[in-house]
Structure 1
Amino acid sequence: MTNKINLDKIISELANDNEAPLEDLFNHYYPRLYNFSRSFLKIEEDIDDILQEVFVKIWMNRKKINSAATFNSFIFTITRNLLLNALRSRLNNENIKGEILKLSLAEEYSQMEQVEYHELKEKVNNLVDELPERQKEIFILSREEGLSHKEIAEKLGISTKTVEYHINQSIKHLKKNLEKIGLMSVLFFYLFF
């Protein structure tokens, strides 16, 4: 494995449909992406599959890569997005949700041992139900279905700025109301997982 690669040359070759440089990219970036992924997921399971998908996406988007200067940011953004998707899909399992909730609640959880996970989720869901209809729809598409701002905008025929506005308003509403009942870490759990 070489420490240095000529990104400009690799990007140019990829744009010309030469897939050979993908191996150089893989060898160069794999250790950094692996460590980044492991620190993000906290477990090693599925990392290799995710990283393979990163390089598939690079190949699929090879004509859109314009400069070596932005490539690092590009590859880490793809990796981060795939890791977030993996975390969200893991949380479809109720047992994993419960374990992560216990970890994320830390201090508050120890004070509220009698409160079940479903009761906490119901409080959050009730707050989401209080949102104006459009905000609620956008928030659910973002947090429960895992769609990106761009995907939501395309699906609903609105701008990404409108999506961002509605999500920010939703978060403000949840934060304000969860602060009142001392459940800020539930907000963290709900928003980022």
Structure 2
Amino acid sequence: MTEEINISRIISNLAEDDEGALEELFNFYYPRLFSFSKSFFKIEDGIDDIIQEVFIKIWRNRKKINSASTFNSFIFTITKNLLLNELRSRLNNENAREKIRNLSIAQEYSSIADIEYDELKTKVDEIIDKLPERQKEVFVLSRAEGLSHKEIAEKLGIKTKTVEYHITQAAGLIKSKLKELGMISLLYFYLFF
């Protein structure tokens, strides 16, 4: 396959239920998404399942995709959100926690073994619960449900810029609160900011 593909044509074909267009996207994006995912996890376990879910989401939403210029960021946002969901799930599993500790993203995270992941999750959930209602709603749709900014804006009937504002404000508050608790380095494992 050539290095470049015609995203506009593929999006148009996807909207017409052309499975070949999905296969074309898969062949082009799979190596990039795999590399991105591996750099996130540092392990290969489960990456193929996550990438498969990315393309399932694209197929399910094929009639809503209308911008070739933002498709690249769209597919990587879906991937990132699914990776975050998987990471949260793995952090609830003792064996996976140990693997993540041993293969931490940066040396500075080596102290993670001394901190309980459940405590971090509880703290983050408490902070999220105290966010203003709309900010909380937007943040949860973004992080927990993996919706794009555009999808959230459409679902809530607000502007994309408003969605971005709420997510930025929520992320800043969570970061600030975790910093006060001395847990800031773990924030990257939980939310990938």
Range of TM-score over shorter length: 0.5 to 0.7
Deviations 1:40-95 (A, max 9, x none): 22111112111111111111111111122111111111111111111111111023
Is 1:88–1:146's contact at 8 Å kept on the other side of the alignment?
Answer: no
Contact 1:13–1:21 under 8 Å retained in 2: yes
Q: Name the CA shift for 1:79/1:11 in 2 (closer, same or farther; >3 Å).
A: same
Query: What is the letter of the counterpart of residue 130 of structure 2?
Result: R
1:168 is matched with 172
On the 8 A contact 1:37/1:83 being kept in 2, the answer is: yes
Contact 1:175/1:187 (8 A) holds in 2: no
Q: CA deviation at 1:27?
A: 1.3
The superposition leaves residues 144-178 of structure 1 with CA deviations (integer Å, 9 ceiling, x where unpaired) of: x945588999xxxxx95667645533432221232
Relative to the length of structure 2, the TM-score reads: 0.67
Q: Does 1:10 align with 2:10?
A: yes
Conservation of the 8 A alpha-carbon contact between 2:87 and 2:190? no
Displacement after TM superposition at 1:125 (Å): 4.7
The secondary structure found in structure 2 opposite 1:55 is: helix
Tell me which moved more, 51-60 or 3-12.
Answer: 3-12
Q: Structure 2: which 5+ runs fail to align?
A: 154-161
Structure 1 SS opposite 2:130: helix
Instruction: Indicate the residue corresponding to 1:156 in structure 2.
Output: none
Match of 2:75, SS state, is helix
Decide whether the 8 Å contact of 1:22 with 1:55 is kept in 2.
Answer: yes
Letter in 2 for 1:73: S
Which structure: larger Rg?
1
Identity over the aligned pairs, expressed in percent?
50
In the alignment, what sits opposite 2:27?
A: 27
Distance 1:126 1:3 in 2: 45
Q: CA deviation at 1:12?
A: 1.0
Structure 1 residues 137-156: aligned runs within 5 Å:
138=136, 142=140, 146-147=144-145
Q: CA 1:2–1:47 in 2, change beyond 3 Å: closer, same or farther? A: same
Task: Quickly say closer, same or farther: Cα 1:106–1:184, change in 2 above 3 A.
Answer: farther
Amino acid at match of 1:134: K
- 8 Å CA contact 1:15, 1:63 repeated in 2: yes
Whole-Å Cα distance in 2 between the matches of residues 148 and 51 of structure 1?
14
Give the Cα separation in 1 of the matches to 2:20 and 2:170: 44
- Number of residue pairs matched by the alignment: 181
Alignment correspondent of 1:94: 94
Please provide the CA RMSD for this pair: 4.2
Secondary structure, counterpart of 2:35 in structure 1: helix
> Which residue does 1:83 correspond to in 2?
83
Distance 1:170 1:11, change over 3 A: closer
